[in-house]
Amino acid sequence: MRDHLAMVEDTNAAILERVGNAVVDVIASDGLVFTAGTGHSAVPVLESFYRAGGLACVYPIYHPALNPLEGAAASTHLERSSGLAQLLVEAAGASNDDIAFVFSNSGVNAVPVELALQFKQRGVRVAGVSSRAHMEAAPRRHEHRLDEFADHLLDTLVPFGDSTHPPDHPVTGAMSSLVCLYVWNLLLARVIDLAGARGIDVPLWESANTARGEERNQTLRDRYRTRIPGL
């Protein structure tokens, strides 16, 4: 896993730079960063929202029924169903000042694919975070794939099937969640460095368990709560 993370960082270095600059542009224009994912690809969405060191301008796209904890088989069925993505994006009210990240290990299910399409149709830049190897080998669940609508694709390099251990016959050691979290935090690091070089302040949450954390976070909640209902 350590070797895989290093390979992901090297492979995505150039695109992380481009996407990082795009996020800084959004911050500079007071736009929002939308994050979305279904099933276990909702793990990086949770990582992106309201956590210490994270961007305060993140709007998570989420529906409880897409969470396996709310019903495993039902969540799988729903993420393959057409139509929900349009409702979610319409409710979010995204504009061309924003950017959207769609996390999907397979890149073939209807909800993530249509999320990317719906954002794209509204002039929103789309960054997909997916495994190209898995996307190319997975059974088609939709007539399109995530990479067809993504302006940028951050490749997790996760092998088809996700499992990685034992190497000769992998049955466990799924890496998609781990790699997505790593990619997201690599991106945050690039955003901070790029924004600093451009003299742009980045709105970041602080731990509420620090001396000034709650005061700082209240200021950010007041700033964004009318635009991000989850706050």
| HSE-up of residue 63 (Cα within 13 Å, Cβ side) | 21
Q: Which pLDDT belongs to residue 91?
A: 95
Q: Which pLDDT belongs to residue 212?
A: 87
Q: Which pLDDT belongs to residue 46?
A: 96
**DSSP, residue by residue, 61-123:** E--GGGSGGG-HHHHHHHHT-SSHHHHHHHHHT--TT-EEEEE-SSS-SHHHHHHHHHHHHTT
Q: Which pLDDT belongs to residue 118?
A: 97
Q: How many CB atoms sit inside 10 A of residue 42's CB?
A: 24
Q: Which element (helix H / strand E) includes 35? A: strand 33-37
Compute the distance between CA of residue 231 and CA of residue 221 in angstroms, rounded to an integer: 6
Q: Which amino acid is at 50?
A: Y
Mean pLDDT by 10 residues, the chain (231 residues): 95 97 98 96 96 97 90 91 94 95 93 96 97 87 89 95 89 93 98 97 94 91 96 94
- Here the tokens at position 73 are 């088989």
Q: Which pLDDT belongs to residue 78?
A: 87
Cα end-to-end span (Å), the chain: 34
Closest CA to 115 of 137, 143, 140, 83: 83
The domain over range 2-224 is classified in CATH as 3.30.70.980: no
Edge to edge, the sheet with strand 125-130 lists: 58-61, 33-37, 99-103, 125-130, 152-155
pTM: 0.94
Q: How is the chain split into domains, by residue range?
A: 2-224
